[in-house]
Amino acid sequence: MGKLDKIALDKDSGEFLYHQLYNEIKELILNGELPPDTKLPTIRKLAEKLEVNNVTVVTAYNQLEADGFIYKKVGSGSFVKKLDKVEKSEEELEPSGIANFGSTAPTPNLFPVEEIKAAIDEVLDRDKANAFIYQESKGYTPLRKSLVSYLEKLGIGTGIDNIQIISGAQQGIDIISKAMVDYGDIVFTESPTYTGAIGVFNSRGARAIGIPIESDGIDVVELENKLKSFRPKFIYIMPNFQNPTGYSYSEKKKEKLLELASEYGFYIIEDDYLSDLHFNNRQNRTLKSMDKADRVIYIKSFSKLFMPGLRIAFMVVPSELYSGILSAKHISDISTPGLIQRAFDAYMRNGNWDENIKRINKVYDLRYRIMVKAVEELMPEEIEYILPEGGLNFWFKLPSGQSSNELYDYLLERNISIAPAMVFDLNGEDSECFRLSVTSIDSEDIRPFMERLTEGMKEFFKAGSKSKLTAEQYNRFL
């Protein structure tokens, strides 16, 4: 039975067996382990081998056929379909056919539109015109209560008086900075870091200092050295699945950071957009759940886990900072739209959130595993990388002296998009590094898109990049 020997179904998991089988076969197809036109075992044989009912296999095969992963030939059996023949509706197709490794916007086919529509209807029937009054700047009280319960499950103990509803994590970074940073103040960030945060710190006239990120978190030795010379207002970090590198902090580094925050008296902004997910069964403890001294300002975005266009997120703000941040929120937009807050609250109370997380976990975990395999098998050997433990972002390095901006231009002409390092650099400087994200790519497209991307990279190397000299290399000529 070849590759299908690997399949193991968990009869105690509570998940339908046909669904487990569907997912296992789909993954083998998407990973290229079952190439096009491979014949699948007969229903009877596979059912016997897995010790399940024939109906389980029939249902899984039917679903695979309906979703375009296999085809049936009358009298001969079922076969794997060629991936680029997977049929998609017109809206699902990228209008430009671009292989979009550059964006971290989630694919809209993941959005639970029906459930949110039901929640909006429920709110309109219940609250009528009240859904359209000015909402409190702190946020709709029942939603803040729901979020306190949600946080308890993440191991974060807080009260509604510390919750601030915001219109997206981006606004969170902005209003914290409005409240805390004046022209010329120092803030620390990881280097590289999230583009949107760089924009905010620049707009405040802050002096942002980058501390290198390593595969187990920020370089704490360098951080402590810098703390001896500078007094930052805060440090902005992403301890789980950092953007752009995908790296996560070790427990030790998380603890060290909290110790340093108490010792040197600075705040930590924790930007958390994925920690609810458990790739590789990794427990992604948030820094906030370990924060006994109340030094962490926690920002939770729902854009990657839910729907970015809702523009809803929240923060847990230390009591000492609450009133300043609330004023900044008020002068920014008075409040996050009440209808959206009420609908999101109804959605959470109806138990839809837990279902959503389970669903998204599966989708993103599959994308992660397909991407890891594609990287290991296809990435040209010139490229250096450390694979992240999970998440949606992957960070790569070209050979020394080459420019990721040039690679970006080269690939874009071939309809492939990547995110070059300059976007994540505090000074907007080009370097060898670049990010690939699978947030905007459906699992069935990852492998074929990676084939296109890596072919493009090989051509780029052959064409001989107009190699950019590094500062050290220039120095040799001085």
Ligand X SMILES: Cc1ncc(COP(=O)(O)O)c(C=O)c1O
- Binding flag, residue 402, ligand X (CB under 6 A): no
Least distance from ligand X to the Cβ atom of residue 350, Å: 22
CB of 426 to ligand X, least distance (A): 15
**Min separation Cβ 303 and ligand X, Å:** 3
Segment near ligand X (CB under 6 A), from 44-52, 122-130, 167-175, 463-471?
Answer: 167-175
- From CA 250, how far away is CA 271, in angstroms rounded? 16
Cβ nearer to ligand X, comparing 140 with 194: 194
Within 8 A by CB and 6+ apart from 29, the residues are: 69, 70, 80, 83
Q: Where are the alpha helices (DSSP H) in 51-168?
A: 54-66, 113-127, 141-153
Q: What string marks each residue from 104 to 123 as x (binds ligand X by CB under 6 A) or -? A: x-------------------
Q: State the virtual CA torsion across 13, 15, 16, 19 in degrees, nearest 10.
A: -120
- Residue from 238, 258, 269, 433 in contact with ligand X (CB under 6 A): 238
Q: Does 162 bind ligand X (CB under 6 A)?
A: no
From 63-71, 162-170, 207-215, 404-412, span contacting ligand X (CB under 6 A): 162-170
Contact with ligand X (CB under 6 A): which of 29, 148, 163, 169?
A: 169
Among 31, 63, 170, 275, binds ligand X (CB under 6 A): 170
Total interface residues for ligand X by CB under 6 A: 14
- Asked whether position 284 contacts ligand X by CB under 6 A, the answer is no
**31 or 336, CB closer to ligand X?**
336
If DSSP states are collapsed to H, E and C, what string results for 250-301? CHHHHHHHHHHHHHHCCEEEEEECCCCCCHHHCCCCCCHHHCCCCCEEEEEE
Helix (H) or strand (E) holding 29: helix 17-30
Tell me whether residue 17 or residue 238 sits nearer to ligand X (CB atom).
238
CB of 316 to ligand X, least distance (A): 15
DSSP single-letter state for residue 39: B
- Residue 403 backbone dihedrals phi, psi, to 5 degrees: -105, 125
Give the tokens for residue 101.
């490794």
* Shortest separation between residue 298's beta carbon and ligand X, angstroms: 12
The residue number with the shortest CB distance to ligand X is 168
Whole-number Å distance between alpha carbons of 215 and 242: 10
CB 313 within 8 A of CB 300: yes
Verify binding: residue 168, ligand X, rule CB under 6 A: yes
436 near ligand X, judged by CB under 6 A: no
271 near ligand X, judged by CB under 6 A = yes
**In terms of CB distance, is 83 or 197 closer to ligand X?**
197
Separation CA 287–CA 279 (nearest Å): 18
d(CA 396, CA 381): 12
Which two three-digit tokens encode residue 360?
């998204």
Chosen residue from 106, 308, 338, 448 binding ligand X by CB under 6 A: 308
Beta carbons within 10 angstroms of residue 206's beta carbon? 22
DSSP 3-state of 425? coil
Q: Work out whether 394 is an interface residue with ligand X (CB under 6 A).
A: no
Site for ligand X in 312-351 (CB under 6 A): 313
Task: Please identify which residue in 142, 196, 318, 401 interacts with ligand X, judged by CB under 6 A.
Answer: 196
**Which residue, 61 or 194, is less far from ligand X as judged by CB?**
194
CB 275 within 8 A of CB 284: yes
Binding site for ligand X (CB under 6 A): 104, 168-170, 194, 196, 238, 243, 271, 273, 301, 303, 308, 313
